[in-house]
Amino acid sequence: MKKSDRYNIGILIGGVHTYFPKEHIRGITEAARELNVNVCFFLGTQTKDFFEDLLGGTHKDSFDYQFKTIHDYSLIGGLDGLIINYGTLGLQLKNETAERFALKFNSIPTVFLTEIVHSPNCHSLICDNKNGIHMVMEHLINEHHCRKILFVAGPSQNTDANERKNTYLERMAAHNLPVTPQMIAQGDYSEFVDRQVQHLLDDNPDAQAIVFANDEMAFSGYRVCEQRGLKVGKDILITGFDDCERASGMEPPLTTVQQDGVLMGKMAVYDLIAKLDGSEVLSRRVPVSLCVRESCGCQEKIPEIRSTPVNLTEQIHKLNRTITNMKLELINFQRKSWFILSLARNLNDCMDDEYAFLLSAMENMRELRTKCTYLFLLDEPVIYHQNDEWISPQNLRLAAYYRDEETAAFHLYDRQPVNAENGICQLMADNDRHQFMVFLLFSGEKQYGLLACDIQPEEFPFFYVISLQIGLSLHYLEISKVEVLRRQEMSRDLELVRERNRELGLISKYDELTGLLNLRGFTEQIKNFCSKSEHQRAYIICADLDHLKEINDTWGHPAGNFALRSVANIFNGCLRSQDIVARTGGDEFLILLNCQEKNFQDIFRKRVRDACAAFNAESGKPFLVEVSLGITEFKPSPETDIPAIIEHADKDLYEAKKLRKNSVRRP
């Protein structure tokens, strides 16, 4: 062992909802505690079988294929050694051999469980499958004189399953017993192989016995036989392999091959630590024994049956312990299941704030009394379709954690990256020993990261559901982020539209040449003025630039534009800020004055005439800028007939224009 640091060992394991992987986990957990090493379980599971059994058909929306990717995250785990339960992972790795898989991970010392590999830096631990099936077949043939024995095989890519199937074929051949393809069914090690067993019995109505490659599939055999009215142990004999916790409690008790999964898990840890300490460790097989019970036709009371490795009292105690533990797990799960609703609600309340979302997730882990929890997120979700080539992401970061009664979360720019030099275990390291269960966070085809919880193995089912809920909530958070961005874009677009409308409003109300109001703008202003300035004295002034045509024709349109702008400036100089002036046509202007002086017409005419003279004295142009004015006094009110007043002023302008000069050319 290292003197200063604990070893960090990783466990790649799938099928953790089934019996034997759970036994391996128990053994690994006990050995890790005894040897004071840190453990990270990279967990995979399969839900498809459960859905199919529950729904009675193929579950098309299963995303179990995502679980085959979690083992790649161990490559950035910061691990010293690795235990690979390939027998469970291989069910998902249909296109990858054990040898190729081993080469991917053999940069560190590796122990393969339930698989034989010959890669450097790896060695294997596998049960004695051949001897186990050999004992079963000899017992059925010699003790029960069976001749028509059927076989339900495990996954074709699994070494345990292949060895068991091959031994079945060898023993049948050794006794000159015929085997046809219809006598063998292809199973998957799950309890849900009912259809395969149905077909097997349909094709072989005279079958005397069925040998199952593991206990889980044998339970399916019990169920099918009961449906057909066949009594197990009398009408047909059934055997299994593993001696799982339910085997002795079946009716009748299941004859099986006992292999010690807990022992195998412990051996794997001890072998790996020995390798890390520099010792040479060889591959080996774990011994098995035949556990004879009533499903093969034997009776417990027969004294000459001595193959059972534990006596009946010990079996009863084992079964009682199993039942008690299962009840406690169920009660605990039921109590905690209410928490899932609270978790979903708490996380959904934070959909507009990722930082608050992360803190809420860690607060919930604190309430669940995990020893500590770490949440690792990808910078961007990875979309992984079932038939795509998997490429392990390189942008995983520590996003939040709960430890020592403290919760913390980090914004994206503050998150520490996970890489080969600064791995998952290093980011979770402290002075305590830990046993992390690492769950993949995904929703449908999108992966979001990992959730690592320091919990006991029996808590796995509940926290597996928790991880599914967090994955779903991360999906909703992503959608919420997209919606926020869309709303921001829409807000920016809306503000841009408003700004353009304001610009269009200005354009529609103002004269581009002079900057004065145009007719539309003047009309709106005078209407507003009349509605608010009732019974006051006011004046409407119509004005024309004298001889604009002469200026344009003689000196060009730029000169005419100059003259028009000059008139606008002259009027602005003669008016107050509250007065309104507009250019309403080519050479036409309108002015609104609010003035209490009587006979203001003559005063204003003189003011404009003097302003024009002053301008002409300084302009240096070969023409004069002069205007004619028509002025009408009125008292504004909401009922004021504005067009009539403008018409009256325009008539006065017409009379004034008769007095203008014949030309604006300078003398």
Question: Which has more pLDDT, 387 or 324?
Answer: 387
Residue 80: inside a domain: no
pLDDT tier for residue 333 given thresholds of 50, 70 and 90: low
| Token digits of residue 433 | 């020993």
User: What integer pLDDT is reported at residue 532 of this predicted model?
Assistant: 79
Residue 643: inside a domain: yes
- For the chain, the average pLDDT equals 86
Residue that the structure tokens 């009394």 belong to = 369
CA-nearest of 155, 164, 218, 227 to 192 is 218
Q: Which residues contact 635 (CB under 8 A, 6 or more apart)?
A: 534, 535, 536, 537, 538
Question: What's the mean pLDDT in 267-287?
Answer: 93
Query: CB of 122 within 8 A of CB of 103?
Result: no
Angle (deg, nearest 10), helices 460-509 and 354-367: 160
- What pTM did the predictor assign? 0.66
pLDDT exceeds 50 at position 27: yes
User: What integer pLDDT is reported at residue 307 of this predicted model?
Assistant: 46
pLDDT exceeds 60 at position 85: yes
Question: What's the mean pLDDT in 587-603?
Answer: 85
Residue 607: inside a domain: yes
In whole angstroms, give the CA distance from residue 200 to residue 210: 9
Comparing 49-58, 109-118, 149-158, 211-220, which segment has the lowest mean pLDDT?
Answer: 49-58
Comparing 234-238, 458-462, 496-500, 530-534, which segment has the lowest mean pLDDT?
Answer: 496-500
pLDDT tier for residue 318 given thresholds of 50, 70 and 90: low
CA-nearest of 565, 559, 546 to 664 is 546
User: What integer pLDDT is reported at residue 159 of this predicted model?
Assistant: 87
Residue 380 CB: number of other CB atoms within 10 A? Answer: 11
Q: What is the dihedral of CA 461, 464, 465, 468, to 10 degrees?
A: -160
Over the range 169-193, which residues count as b (16 or more CB within 10 Å of their CB) and which as e? eebbeeeeeeeeeebbbebbbbbbb
Question: What's the mean pLDDT in 391-400?
Answer: 91
pLDDT exceeds 70 at position 94: no
By three-state DSSP, how is residue 284 classified?
strand
In whole angstroms, give the CA distance from residue 469 to residue 197: 35
Question: What's the mean pLDDT in 255-275?
Answer: 94
CATH number of the domain enclosing 556: 3.30.70.270
User: What integer pLDDT is reported at residue 310 of this predicted model?
Assistant: 47
| Token digits of residue 521 | 């703008």
**Domain end among 247, 274, 309:** 309
User: What integer pLDDT is reported at residue 3 of this predicted model?
Assistant: 38
Q: How many domains does the chain have?
A: 2
Over the range 226-255, which residues count as b (16 or more CB within 10 Å of their CB) and which as e? eeeebebbeebbbbbbbbbbbbbebebbbb
In whole angstroms, give the CA distance from residue 204 to residue 206: 5
| Token digits of residue 139 | 């017992």
* pLDDT tens-digit series, residues 35-44: 999 999 998 7
β-pairing, 256-258 with 406-409?
A: unpaired
What phi and psi values does residue 94 have, to the nearest 5 degrees? Answer: -70, -25
CA-nearest of 621, 607, 629 to 664 is 621
* pLDDT tens-digit series, residues 599-654: 788 889 999 999 999 999 998 899 999 999 999 988 888 888 888 999 999 999 99
Residue 231: inside a domain: yes
User: What integer pLDDT is reported at residue 304 of this predicted model?
Assistant: 43
pLDDT exceeds 80 at position 188: yes
Query: CB of 629 within 8 A of CB of 542?
Result: yes
Question: SS3 breakdown of the chain: % helix, strand, coil, rounded to 5?
Answer: 45, 20, 35
Query: CB of 192 within 8 A of CB of 158?
Result: no
Query: CB of 30 within 8 A of CB of 23?
Result: no
Instruction: Evaluate the CA torsion angle 27, 28, 30, 31 in order and state its sign.
Output: positive
Q: Residues of the chain with pLDDT > 70: what percent?
A: 88
Spell out the alpha helix ranges (H) of 310-456.
312-348, 354-367, 424-427
Question: Which has more pLDDT, 505 or 269?
Answer: 269
Question: What's the mean pLDDT in 534-539?
Answer: 80
Residue 341: inside a domain: no
* pLDDT tens-digit series, residues 457-493: 888 888 888 898 999 999 999 888 888 777 777 777 7
Residue 7: inside a domain: no
User: What integer pLDDT is reported at residue 56 of this predicted model?
Assistant: 46
* pLDDT tens-digit series, residues 553-585: 999 999 999 999 999 999 999 988 888 899 988
pLDDT exceeds 90 at position 420: no
| Token digits of residue 568 | 């606008």
**Domain end among 274, 309, 344:** 309
Instruction: Evaluate the CA torsion angle 316, 321, 326, 330 in order and state its sign.
Output: positive
Residue 347: inside a domain: no
User: What integer pLDDT is reported at residue 277 of this predicted model?
Assistant: 94
β-pairing, 209-212 with 149-153?
A: parallel
| Cis? peptide before 638, omega within 30° of 0 | no
pLDDT tier for residue 396 given thresholds of 50, 70 and 90: very high
Over the range 605-633, which residues count as b (16 or more CB within 10 Å of their CB) and which as e? beebeebbeebbeeeebebbbbbbbbbbb
Q: Which residues contact 300 (CB under 8 A, 6 or more apart)?
A: 253, 293, 294, 312
CA-nearest of 126, 200, 137, 208 to 166 is 137
pLDDT exceeds 70 at position 257: yes
Q: Residues of the chain with pLDDT > 90: what percent?
A: 52
CA-nearest of 99, 207, 96 to 148 is 207
User: What integer pLDDT is reported at residue 51 of this predicted model?
Assistant: 47
What is the enclosing helix (H) or strand (E) of 656? helix 642-657
In whole angstroms, give the CA distance from residue 622 to residue 664: 9
* pLDDT tens-digit series, residues 435-461: 999 999 999 899 999 999 999 988 888
Question: Which has more pLDDT, 595 or 442?
Answer: 442
Range of the domain at 547: 519-657
| Token digits of residue 597 | 């002086």
Q: What is the DSSP string of 83-116?
A: EEEHHHHTTT-TT--HHHHHHHHTTS-EEEESS-
Q: What is the DSSP string of 50-90?
A: HHHHHHTS--TT--GGGGGGGGGGGGGS--SEEEEEHHHHT
In whole angstroms, give the CA distance from residue 381 to residue 387: 18
CA atoms within 13 A on the CB side of 380: 3
Residue 380: inside a domain: no
pLDDT exceeds 90 at position 175: yes
CATH number of the domain enclosing 303: 3.40.50.2300
Question: What's the mean pLDDT in 369-384?
Answer: 93
